[in-house]
């Protein structure tokens, strides 16, 4: 995004395909971001132990090693572990490779009490996980129902969303939806609070637009300008961020700033021709000529 904010570094070829990034450059960086340094080190030690396995069946072990190493090499340049079949194949290969280890195996016999205790804990954990899953599913269904009710203008959804917030405040899409509902019903102050939470969890284009619009409604023009510039740098091939920015400058009385943005919009290549883009271009021509 820093490169796109600089005209000298801006390349039309890259500008044309720029979009919001939801994952890191590769699987290893993603793992470091999601699990931290401790999780990354544990994974590295796991990989080292698997790759260094020695077996009395070298051909078979070598085949599984090649599979594991191939996935790891691909993970440097892409996201293979985001595909469940590939992730499953990776761990099956690792498990079979570990099973072929020629190291000494120790079999520890536990008492019946310990076995029953382990089984009980596993069952409690399993049932708790299933109960939690179905409870979350129930909250998601309620959220979807309230989204439809909000479109009909039912103000009761504000209380329902507030209640659901206690259970779904970790869910980025829910926070975006909640922020949009607050904005639509005119509660701009709380909309700003919720949408900022959503942005801290996930990158979302609509959250940033609504946040900028909420700032405008609250006469917080500096924050709105910052938000629209952020979107403009993040999505240099999109017309909408610059369109909002031009209109904001007009609202602020900055006609020079509005004209400069209008010129940038008219100089942008049209990726997908549409009526919306044509209308934006006509409005920008009007700004420049008046």
- Where do we find the tokens 């290549």? 269
Helix (H) or strand (E) holding 42: helix 27-51
C-alpha distances in Å from residue 60, one per residue of 67, 83, 220, 247: 11, 25, 66, 66
Q: Give the pLDDT band of residue 8 (cuts 50, 70, 90).
A: very low
Amino acid 67: pLDDT: 86
Evaluate whether 40 touches 89 at the Cβ level (below 8 Å): no
**Mean pLDDT lowest for which of 9-13, 82-86, 165-169, 281-285?**
9-13
CATH 1.25.40.10 residue ranges for the chain: 112-289
**Mean pLDDT in residue range 259-284:** 86
pTM confidence score: 0.67
Residues 6+ apart with CB under 8 A from 165: 174, 178, 194
More confident residue, 152 or 227: 227
**Mean pLDDT in residue range 35-43:** 89
Average pLDDT value over all residues in the chain: 83
On the CB side of 130, CA atoms within 13 Å amount to 5
pLDDT at 11 over 80: no
More confident residue, 159 or 85: 159
pLDDT at 274 over 90: no
Topology, domain 112-289: 1.25.40
Q: Give the pLDDT band of residue 9 (cuts 50, 70, 90).
A: very low
């Amino acid at each position: 995004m820093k490169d796109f904010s600089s005209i000298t570094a801006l390349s039309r070829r890259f500008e044309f395909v720029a979009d919001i990034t939801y994952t890191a450059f590769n699987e290893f960086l993603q793992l470091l971001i999601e699990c931290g340094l401790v999780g990354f080190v544990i994974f590295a030690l796991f990989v080292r132990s698997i790759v260094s396995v020695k077996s009395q069946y070298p051909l078979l072990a070598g085949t599984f090693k090649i599979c594991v190493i191939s996935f790891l090499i691909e993970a440097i340049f892409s996201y293979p572990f985001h595909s469940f079949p590939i992730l499953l194949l990776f761990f099956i290969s690792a498990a079979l490779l570990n099973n072929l280890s020629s190291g000494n195996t120790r079999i520890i016999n536990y008492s019946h009490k310990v076995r029953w205790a382990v089984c009980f804990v596993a069952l409690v954990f399993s049932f708790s996980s299933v109960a939690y899953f179905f409870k979350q599913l129930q909250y998601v269904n309620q959220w979807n129902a309230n989204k439809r009710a909000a479109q009909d203008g039912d103000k009761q959804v504000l209380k329902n969303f507030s209640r659901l917030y206690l259970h779904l405040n970790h869910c980025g899409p829910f926070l975006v939806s909640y922020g949009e509902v607050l904005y639509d019903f005119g509660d701009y102050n709380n909309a700003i609070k919720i949408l900022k939470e959503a942005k801290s969890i996930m990158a979302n284009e609509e959250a940033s637009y609504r946040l900028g619009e909420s700032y405008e409604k609250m006469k917080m023009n500096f924050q709105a300008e910052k938000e629209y510039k952020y979107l403009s740098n993040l999505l240099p091939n999109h017309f909408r961020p610059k369109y909002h920015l031009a209109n904001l400058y007009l609202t602020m009385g900055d006609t020079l700033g509005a004209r400069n943005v209008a010129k940038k919009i008219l100089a942008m290549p049209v990726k997908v021709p549409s009526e919306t883009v044509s209308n934006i271009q006509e409005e920008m021509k009007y700004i420049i000529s008046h």
